């Protein structure tokens, strides 16, 4: 049964990646891929630099997603093991549930402070996010530098990558802890905890992979374009089913040091907040004009 559940979880994860990307698993979208290819060729002819690289982005999303699957699996194993141990320990009066659980009709619930080691998970995920983040930023930034024939100065991006890794890791873990706290209020806390991680593996991992890729790839390309002396940036929508706020941004062009009208420096900019970043697949191109 565990093998079947694992296979189903991987299938759901793959489907989630396709849905977030607006690709519908690659079926029936030939005309959209052709349109994007024509658009890219037209931008190149107009003197623009287009660092979207759909295949590289897809590979990067997969790399991030699979890493998050591993993270959630480790966290699940620790949390569930502690839940089973603590649930047996936290009883009173000859093995009856605690008074508050008994009055609410719940099974004995473990303590979130025992289940969740926030300092450990934040430290580990920050290291992971910094390592993967630097690799993602540098790979996409180097592409732009190569197109321009420039040397890339990665040092000026390192502080941002480190801080973004710290905040991103804390946000992911805070969301998981909040879901655990909610699960502990369920009638059957252990089953609810299992569901928290089933959702994390089948959906959250893919969404985080999508968001991290967009944020970091676009940050890297924008900084490389600025270093290379490019003057403008244009927002491009790559999803076939974008959120309305992003659909409105499609084709918007501003100075490379300016904010877009939505207050973001690039698609995936954390300044836009979670609602504007989660699941975003938008990208930017860069121009030489004023």
**Rounded (5°) CA angle 109-113-114:** 70
The residue range of the domain holding 79 is: 52-229
Is 285 within the bounds of a domain? no
How many whole angstroms separate alpha carbon 14 and alpha carbon 194?
A: 20
Contact assessment for residue 245 and residue 192, using Cβ atoms and an 8 Å cutoff: no
pLDDT score recorded for residue 216: 98
Is 14 within the bounds of a domain? no
Is 284 within the bounds of a domain? no
Q: How many domains does the chain have?
A: 1
Selected residue with higher pLDDT from 156 and 92: 156
Each residue's pLDDT tens digit, 226-239? 999 999 999 999 99
Is 147 within the bounds of a domain? yes
pLDDT at residue 225 greater than cutoff 90 = yes
* Average pLDDT of span 18-47: 47
Return the DSSP state at 232: E
Tokens in use for 225? 């374009």
Query: 93: alpha, beta or left, given left = phi > 0 and alpha = psi -120 to 50?
Result: left
Place of tokens 């979207």: 52
pLDDT score recorded for residue 47: 67
CA 1 to chain centre: 29
* Average pLDDT of span 213-236: 97
Is 131 within the bounds of a domain? yes
Is 13 within the bounds of a domain? no
Is 62 within the bounds of a domain? yes
Tokens in use for 51? 């660092």
**What does the mean pLDDT of the chain come to?**
85
pLDDT at residue 7 greater than cutoff 70 = no
pLDDT at residue 181 greater than cutoff 80 = yes
Tokens in use for 97? 């549930």
pLDDT at residue 27 greater than cutoff 50 = no
How many whole angstroms separate alpha carbon 1 and alpha carbon 4?
A: 5
Interstrand relation of 283-287 and 232-236 (parallel, antiparallel or unpaired): antiparallel
Is 260 within the bounds of a domain? no
* Average pLDDT of span 147-156: 95
Reduced to 3 states (helix: H, G, I; strand: E, B; else coil), residue 111 is coil
């Amino acid at each position: 049964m565990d093998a079947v559940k694992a296979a189903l979880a991987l299938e759901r994860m793959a489907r989630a990646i396709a849905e977030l990307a607006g690709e519908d698993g690659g079926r029936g979208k030939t005309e959209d891929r052709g349109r994007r290819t024509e658009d890219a060729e037209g931008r190149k002819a107009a003197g623009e630099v287009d660092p979207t690289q759909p295949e590289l982005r897809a590979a990067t999303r997969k790399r991030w997603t699979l890493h998050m699957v591993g993270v959630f699996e480790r966290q699940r194993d620790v949390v569930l093991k502690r839940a089973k141990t603590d649930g047996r320990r936290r009883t009173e009066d000859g093995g009856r549930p605690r008074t508050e659980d008994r009055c609410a009709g719940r099974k004995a619930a473990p303590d979130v402070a025992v289940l969740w080691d926030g300092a450990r998970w934040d430290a580990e995920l920050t290291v992971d996010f910094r390592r993967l983040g630097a690799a993602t930023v540098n790979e996409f930034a180097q592409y732009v530098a190569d197109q321009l024939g420039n040397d890339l100065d990665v040092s000026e991006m390192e502080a941002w990558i480190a801080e973004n890794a710290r905040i991103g890791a804390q946000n992911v873990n805070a969301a998981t802890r909040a879901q655990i706290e909610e699960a502990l209020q369920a009638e059957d806390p252990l089953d609810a905890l299992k569901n928290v991680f089933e959702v994390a593996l089948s959906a959250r991992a893919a969404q985080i992979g999508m968001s991290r890729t967009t944020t970091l790839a676009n940050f890297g390309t924008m900084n490389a374009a600025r270093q290379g002396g490019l003057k403008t940036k244009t927002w491009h929508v790559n999803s076939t089913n974008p959120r309305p706020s992003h659909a409105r941004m499609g084709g918007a062009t501003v100075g490379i040091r300016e904010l877009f009208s939505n207050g973001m420096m690039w698609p995936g900019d954390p300044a836009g907040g979670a609602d504007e970043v989660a699941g975003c697949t938008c990208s930017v191109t860069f121009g030489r004009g004023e």
